[in-house]
Structure 1
Amino acid sequence: MWRGAILASALLAGLSLAASCAPVPVELPPQAMRADFVLVDKSDRVLTLYAAGKPLKRYIGLQFGDAPRGHKQFEGDERTPEGLYTIDTRNPRSAYHLSLRVSYPNAKDRAFAQAHGRSPGGDIFIHGQPNSLPVGRMADDWTDGCIAVSNAEIEELWRAIPDGTPIRIDP
């Protein structure tokens, strides 16, 4: 049914399906299949999903901002935050193949940046590869502080991580 709605919307807007970049909605799995905690180890470039204290799945080869070491402090510093946050929303219309928002900045992050007369930045996500990338994966660290995975991996993470899930990002 939703595919018909997307087709009708595209046709009404005068768009061809080939030009449409609207992602296909991805349903969340039953509660028993969901992660209740996400751990990111920046130094090992590993994201691990947990449920009831037990690891469910590991994702390796994460990509970060252009300056991957250290905690994000200011807008534009190209760093990925470190600490405890939550996955607070999702964006199916991202410029990247799906994205899950990390709740950076928290009150401590904002206070630190304000004390230095700067903005802490924001819009930190776990996301797939750029929609403009024909196939494959970008090389090296390339985000502005986000955590990038493959498109297939973000589809799995999208289904496994409900909004409100705690995420800890370790150095």
Structure 2
Amino acid sequence: MQNTAIEFESIIAECRELFSKKMQDYGAAWRVMRPSSITDQIYIKINRIRTLQMSSVKMVDEDERVEFIAIINYSIIGLIQLERGFIQSLEEDAENIMQQYDDYAHRAKELMMRKNHDYGEAWREMRISSITDLIYQKVLRTKQIEDNQGKTLVSEGLDANYFDMLNYAVFCLIKMN
């Protein structure tokens, strides 16, 4: 499992670099988005991945890898938005946001390591398409929880689903490497 931790950190470093560059280009424009809009962005990305996996024709020159990276970054954005709420202004401290990014990435890694231990790295034997379907299922669950104003009877909350989508996308990227 030590290898998994290193692979996780490598994937997150790549995602963080892109996130940081986009912060420089756009600032924190995403801070105006409600969590449900973030979930819909993840839905768009995972739906595109599923379409690419089931079709032999690709009309846009971006591969699945780019979309999995986006799912990781949008999942962290979703976690930040759940914690901080959305705002009307774009005035945000980039350093503070990057610290939050790092905090959520670290928490995701810790969760992944605990679950990975208990499940015996079963994801390594799974197909990328199956993990994709798990992300798709998680995003649909998240949308349902949001439609229920965040209330659940026995299920985990929105944050748990964002963490799972993030970690599943990392697994896909590890497998693609």
TM-score range, shorter chain: under 0.3
Between Structure 1 and Structure 2, the one with more strand by share is 1
| Larger RCO (CA under 8 A, 6+ residues apart) | 2
Structure (1 or 2) with the greater helix fraction: 2
Choose 1 or 2 for highest CA Rg: 1
